[in-house]
Every structure is written in C-alpha cells, then in structure tokens.
Amino acid sequence: MAYSYRTFRFGGMLTPVVKRLIIANVAVFLFGSVMNHAVGPDFMIDWFAFQPTRIFLRPWGVFTYMFVHGGFWHIALNMLVLFFFGPPLESAWGGREFFKFYIICGLGGVALSYVFLPTAIIGASAAIYGVMLAFAMTWPDAPIYFWGIFPIKAKWLVGFFVAMSLFYSISAPSGGGIAHLAHLGGFLTGFLYLKSHRHAGQGFERLKRAVRTHPRLAIVPHQGKSQERRSAAKPEAAERRERKEDVALYDAVDQVLDKISEQGMGSLTAAERKLLDDVSRRHRTN
C-alpha cells in the first residue's frame, strides 16, 4: 500500500513521533517474543493486554495494550499503515497533537470494546484506524495504491474499512480473534475528536488570515470619526506608547502563529491560548 498526492512523496523521511511509535512497538514485540519463550506464551497477554476482568489489577493495560501484538503480521500491517499515513498528519498538526490523537483513538477502542463486548484486546489497530480516518478526512481524494497497483481514493478506502468493522462488529463481535469493536472505537473516537476540533480550527484560521493579511486589523480598532477625535485629543506621548504596545502585541501573536505552524495547536501554553482568545475577541468587536 502506498500513496502519492501533490506534496506527498513516497519514501519521505519519517517524522519524529511516528518513528518513536514504530520503534516502541517493534521493541515491545521483540521483548514479548523473548519473554513468551522464556516464561510462557501468555506472559505479554497476562501483564500488558487490556483485560476488563483485571482492570483494577492491571490498570496500565488501557495504554500498554496498544504496543502488544499477537504475531508478526499483526504488527507488520499496523506499522506499515502508520508509516504511510502518520507522517503527513504529524507534519500538518505537530508531534504533540498527533501523539495525543493517536492515544485518544487507542483509548476509544478500549472503551467501545469494553462497553459492548468486555474481552481482552491487544494491538495498535484502534489508534491506527483513527490515523487512517484522519488522513482521509484531511486529504479525501489522495489516491492510495492498494498493493501498489490499484489507485483508490483515501475516502473510499477508509470508508470500506469502516463498513467492514461495523459489519463484523454486529455480525461477529468476537471476530475470530480480531477486535472489530476496538477498530470501530478508534474510527468513532477519531471522528468525534476531529469534528469537535474543526470548529475551533476554523475560527483560528480566520484569525490567522486576518493577522497575516492585515496585521493591524486584529489589534488596532478601525479609525472612524469618533476614533479620530479621541486620537486628536490624546497627548503625543500616549499615542506613541499605544503604538508600541500594538507592535509588541502583534509580534507576540505572530510568534504564536509561527509556533502553531511548526508544532501544532497542542503545543500552546495556557498564556498563548489566552493571547489568541483576547486578540480574537478584539478582532470580532472591531
């Protein structure tokens, strides 16, 4: 499976978080292979899978299950999908936001599986399915070359996987060893997360365009007649001080926008978020 769409190029460098996730999954798989051989075949399942009946004895399982895989092809397919679909998203969102989304989708797989079919689950599939969905929602028409031959638009390929997960979740919940409910939970959680953040993102993009295209628009009120009268009545020193404050505020906003472009919204501190909120409110009132 490969993709090629405008700015995407197959074989590009791995982004930092995707690389670390792949390394962590492979390391856990190799560790598990050694321990299962040395201690017993159920060692990793017993200690690191998510097991509803042992949630109070093994609470860490809600996280560690994402790094435990049942065999070579299980981990190989999951890491292959992460290798292709993860870097574009991390590049667009920033590493922190991408990692948060990955973990949230994994937890969503646990939740749905626990509610409707309390059974032990392992694997990164819920998080991986969330990543696939995010890619398809961001670049729906990107052609995915299935088996390197047949081009399929991302939205149709991911839609097929969603339909399959839904079908098997209803018709065969136990799935013959495949956690279809966990897959569906990753899809559903990823979709809700992206939809809830899209409205905030749209507001941010409007603010970003206003600041980038008309830097003073979001900071200095429009000069109407009443504003001109007030300006005329102000001492020159006060006007100079206000202009300096405006420039400093613009510079601060510009730095925050650059940080978002490089690292994503998730990298902002509470003070930086408050700064954007304050400037956004001033822009709306002006």
Mean pLDDT in order along the chain per 10 residues (286 residues): 40 82 95 85 84 83 89 91 92 90 92 75 90 91 74 87 81 60 86 77 53 45 45 58 66 73 65 73 55
Token code pair at residue 13: 């460098």
User: Which pLDDT does position 23 carry in this prediction?
Assistant: 95
What CATH number is associated with residue 189? 1.20.1540.10
pLDDT (tens digit per residue) in 162-212: 888 888 777 765 555 567 778 888 889 999 999 887 644 555 555 555 555
Identify the CA nearest to 115 among candidates 163, 169, 44, 167. 169
Is residue 204, in this structure, part of any structural domain at all?
Answer: no
Is residue 35, in this structure, part of any structural domain at all?
Answer: yes
**221 shares a domain with 130:** no
**152 shares a domain with 19:** yes
Distance CA 83, CA 104 (A): 19
User: Which pLDDT does position 53 carry in this prediction?
Assistant: 78
Which ranges constitute the DSSP H helices of 117-235? 125-138, 154-171, 180-213, 225-233
User: Which pLDDT does position 142 carry in this prediction?
Assistant: 84
Structural domain including 182 reads: 2-196
User: Which pLDDT does position 196 carry in this prediction?
Assistant: 83
**81 shares a domain with 18:** yes
Based on the structure, what is the number of domains in the chain?
2
Please report, to the nearest 10 degrees, the dihedral formed by the alpha carbons of residues 79, 81, 84, 90 taken in order.
-80
**220 shares a domain with 147:** no
**Model pTM score:** 0.67
**75 shares a domain with 18:** yes
**58 shares a domain with 89:** yes
Q: Of 161, 196, 231, which closes a domain?
A: 196
**226 shares a domain with 180:** no
User: Which pLDDT does position 247 carry in this prediction?
Assistant: 65
Is residue 164, in this structure, part of any structural domain at all?
Answer: yes
Is residue 276, in this structure, part of any structural domain at all?
Answer: yes
Is residue 261, in this structure, part of any structural domain at all?
Answer: yes
Which residue(s) pair with 121 in the sheet? Answer: 50
- Strand spans (E) along the chain: 2-3, 143-146, 150-153
**226 shares a domain with 178:** no
Is residue 208, in this structure, part of any structural domain at all?
Answer: no
Q: Of 196, 231, 265, which closes a domain?
A: 196
**8 shares a domain with 116:** yes
**228 shares a domain with 94:** no
Is residue 116, in this structure, part of any structural domain at all?
Answer: yes
**157 shares a domain with 272:** no
- 3-class DSSP assignment, residue 153: strand
Strand order across the beta sheet in which 2-3 lies: 2-3, 143-146, 150-153
Q: Of 152, 167, 196, which closes a domain?
A: 196
**219 shares a domain with 190:** no
Is residue 205, in this structure, part of any structural domain at all?
Answer: no
